[in-house]
């Protein structure tokens, strides 16, 4: 059982890093460097350690929810499926943001998408909390960071808008 749990935890953490792999295909580059940024824009070096810690927490959170529902055979299998479905949706949305913002250079579209991502994260927190409170709590730093990222995304979009279509 311990080996199975360790393997499942490893898989959940690896899957949680999938958005980072996708996002790594769309680096900020010259386009981002040329954008006007607010004075409170964080330095570029901060993103890798923050996201690394968040992806580990996201993976552990998913594993805890999965384990609570399927390993312990609780009566919450339907709730667990919903919770893990929301978990998968927020991971896909997380990966899509980098493509929209850095890949397509569409900060307005990325802003709309990050608002949907934020809502998906909150829904996942609530669903995980019902299954295992610690699983939901581990996603709170992620929600806080995405809240900040959404404000930053919206500010960058507004500061660099040209004719309402963005930079």
Which CATH number goes with the domain that contains 11?
1.20.1260
Residue 147 covered by a domain = yes
- Residues 35 and 110 sit within 8 Å (Cβ to Cβ): no
165 pLDDT above the threshold of 50: no
Exposed e or buried b per residue across 115-130, where buried means at least 16 C-beta atoms within 10 angstroms of its C-beta: eebbebbbbbbebbbb
Contact 66, 84 (CB under 8 A): yes
Does residue 11 lie in a domain region?
yes
50, HSE (Cβ side, Cα atoms, 13 Å): 14
* In-domain check, residue 29: no
- The total number of structural domains in the chain stands at 1
Write down the pLDDT at residue 166. Answer: 46
Which residues constitute the domain of residue 57?
A: 2-23+53-159
Domain assignment present for residue 30? The answer is no
**118-158 tens-digit pLDDT:** 999 999 999 999 999 999 999 999 999 999 999 999 999 99
Q: What is the pLDDT of residues 16-37, one digit of tens each?
A: 998 888 878 888 889 999 999 9
pLDDT in tens, 49-90: 999 999 999 999 999 999 888 766 655 666 678 899 999 999
Is residue 101 situated within a structural domain? Answer: yes
**28 found inside a domain:** no
């Amino acid at each position: 059982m311990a080996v199975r749990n360790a393997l499942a935890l490893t898989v959940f953490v690896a899957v949680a890093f999938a958005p980072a792999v996708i996002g790594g295909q769309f680096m900020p580059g010259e386009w981002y460097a040329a954008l006007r940024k607010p004075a409170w824009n964080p330095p570029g070096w901060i993103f890798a350690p923050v996201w690394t810690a968040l992806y580990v927490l996201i993976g552990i959170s998913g594993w805890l929810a999965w384990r609570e529902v399927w390993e312990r055979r609780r009566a919450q299998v339907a709730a667990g499926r919903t919770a893990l479905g929301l978990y998968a949706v927020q991971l896909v949305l997380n990966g899509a943001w980098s493509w929209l913002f850095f890949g397509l250079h569409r900060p307005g579209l990325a802003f709309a998408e990050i608002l949907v991502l934020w809502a998906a994260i909150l829904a996942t927190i609530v669903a995980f909390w019902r299954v295992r409170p610690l699983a939901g709590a581990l996603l709170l730093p992620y929600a806080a960071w995405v809240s900040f990222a959404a404000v930053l995304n919206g500010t960058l979009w507004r500061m660099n808008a040209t004719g309402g279509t963005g930079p």
